[in-house]
Structure 1
Amino acid sequence: MSLVAEFRLVHPDIPTVDALERTDGMELTAEQVLADDPGMPIVFFWADGERYDAFEAGLDDEAGIAAWERIESLPSRRFYRVDVDGTESVVIYPTDLAVGASRLGFSATAAGLDVRMRFPDREAMRTYFARCREQDIDVSLARLYGSEHDDPFPGVSEKQREALCAAVEAGYFRVPREADLAAVAAELGVSTQSASERLRRGTAALVGDAFGADEPRDGS
């Protein structure tokens, strides 16, 4: 079964990151990627934000950018073409091809590259993430799902899902924490011990389903 993953990639040598660090929260949204040579992709993207002059100066200075062109300037955003030099930067596109993955969309900020990608199966996703980490790229998985009729997390019971969702909505997982276990338990109408067990077992099952780790399953 194919899977769609949403994740963030972080590495200082990802193309445009240096240029984006010169701006005040600019975001790039890719529209198209062309690549006769997978290691030298050409990326077309919209830039939204401020300090375009600083961003363009950053593109001039960035070793991983072979060439760039501003194609269109609008009052609120600009459209660019960037030719990436894979010998001077971290290029992930060849890994997409190697595992048979398809990029459904991606955007970039100074914080990293946010990607939405379809993988042919779970093993392809694991291989992709492993190859990224071999290049010292930090990978943070945000969301994983199949088609609208598939359940990508069959090991998570309904009670565990309810507990995990309640904890997220209450701010239990935020840093700093905005709600304690007692607040989550009160929302669920159960004891703190029951809430704790559902969260721990639900988290273990979620990780097991997402990454293939073998964990004991419990429906409580």
Structure 2
Amino acid sequence: MIVIADLSIPADAFPLGRILDEYPEVEIELERIIPLRNAIIPLFWVSNGDTEEIEATLTEDPLTESVTPLTQTDSRVLYEVEWSPDVNGVVQSMFESDARLLEAEGTVDVWDFRLQFRTRSDLAKFRTACEENDVPVTLRRLYNPALPEDNGQLSARQYEALVSAYKGGYFEVPRGTSMSALGTEFGISDSAVSQRLRRGTAALIAETLLPEYSQS
């Protein structure tokens, strides 16, 4: 049976963590990782950073073969990077266990992944491979097999954060819970919680109050 797992790893255990280490204000959302015979290509969005500095940092990485900006919005750039096939750690562990990347985002401290595995054995294989590559993995939550409905722009992670914040009284005056408490609940940093609440709120406004805007 399919298993969906929410996992966290330290930012420095993932190749893109170097950007966040040098530019902590930057936000990264990983779209997908494409394995090729002679290369591995991640596609990811970068927000809140100087484009030239980020591209220079990516290019200087010894694993990087090429860097290509694909498209740009007002605040985000979509990059395609060609990594050397020598990249290991969590990336190779995903391939070895046939994991499917559903979501991934990083902060200066931690990377959060949502991965889909065909079986629990594949999940166990992934964790073993990470251990062999000295990548510490924190398993935060399992879904077997369904996720909350993901309608429109609101992602499952944003849904979870908003619901927990609402139930905990975060939006009340005075607040019934804090950003730090929500971060502890999900096993992520305060900054990551803030990003999910902000983006989730924006998505809800676009979908419910301005549906014609969200469809444009």
| TM-score tier (shorter) | 0.5 to 0.7
SS in 1 for 2:12: coil
TM-score relative to the length of structure 2? 0.61
Preserved contact between residue 90 and residue 130 of structure 2 (Cα < 8 Å): yes
Q: Against the structure 1 CA distance between its residues 53 and 6, is the aligned structure 2 distance closer, same or farther, given a 3 Å change threshold?
A: same
Find 1:114's aligned residue among 108, 112, 115. 112
* 2:41 paired residue number: 42
1:20 CA displacement: 2.3
Q: Tell me how far 1:11 sits from its aligned partner.
A: 5.8
State how 1:1-220 maps to structure 2 within 5 Å. Answer: 1-10=1-10, 12=12, 14-37=14-37, 40-87=39-86, 89-148=87-146
- The alpha-carbon deviation at position 13 of structure 1 amounts to 5.2
What's the offset of the Cα at 1:40? Answer: 2.8
The CA deviation string for residues 89-126 of structure 1, in whole angstroms up to 9 with x for no partner, is: 43533332332322212223332332111112222212
Runs of 4+ aligned residues of structure 1 deviating over 6 Å after TM superposition are: none
Change (3 A) 1:105 1:47: same
Contact 1:22 1:55 in 2 (8 A): no
Tell me how far apart the structure 1 counterparts of residues 53 and 108 of structure 2 sit (CA, whole Å). 13
d(CA) in 1 for partners of 2:63 and 2:19?
Answer: 11
Distance in 1 (CA, whole Å) between partners of 2:11 and 2:85 is: 14
Secondary structure of residue in 1 paired with 2:138 = strand
**Gap change, CA 1:60 and 1:94, over 3 Å in 2:** closer
Structure with the higher fraction of residues in helix conformation: 2
Q: How far off its partner does 1:147 sit? A: 2.6
Alignment CA distance shift 1:148-1:59 (3 Å): closer
Once the two structures are superposed, what CA deviation does each residue of 1:151-194 show, in whole Å capped at 9, x if it has no partner?
xxxxxxxxxxxxxx9xx9587x959x9xxxxxxxxxxxxxxxxx
Contact 1:48-1:76 within 8 A present in 2 as well:
yes
Scaled by the length of structure 1, the TM-score of the pair is: 0.60
The verdict on how the C-alpha distance between 1:143 and 1:69 changes in structure 2, with shifts beyond 3 A counting, is: same
Identity %: 20
Give the match for residue 154 of structure 1: none
Aligned residues: 157
Give the unaligned 5+ runs of structure 2. 148-163, 169-175, 185-216
Cα RMSD for the two superposed structures = 3.1
**C-alpha separation between the residues in 2 aligned to 1:11 and 1:74?**
25
Q: Which has the larger radius of gyration?
A: 1
Distance 1:21 1:34 in 2: 24
Separation of aligned partners in 2, 1:64 and 1:81: 14
Give 1:72's aligned amino acid: T
Amino acid across the alignment from 2:63:
G
- Following superposition, the deviation at residue 139 of structure 1 comes to 0.6
| Partner SS state of residue 66, structure 1 | strand
Q: Is the 8 A contact 1:23 1:52 kept in 2?
A: no
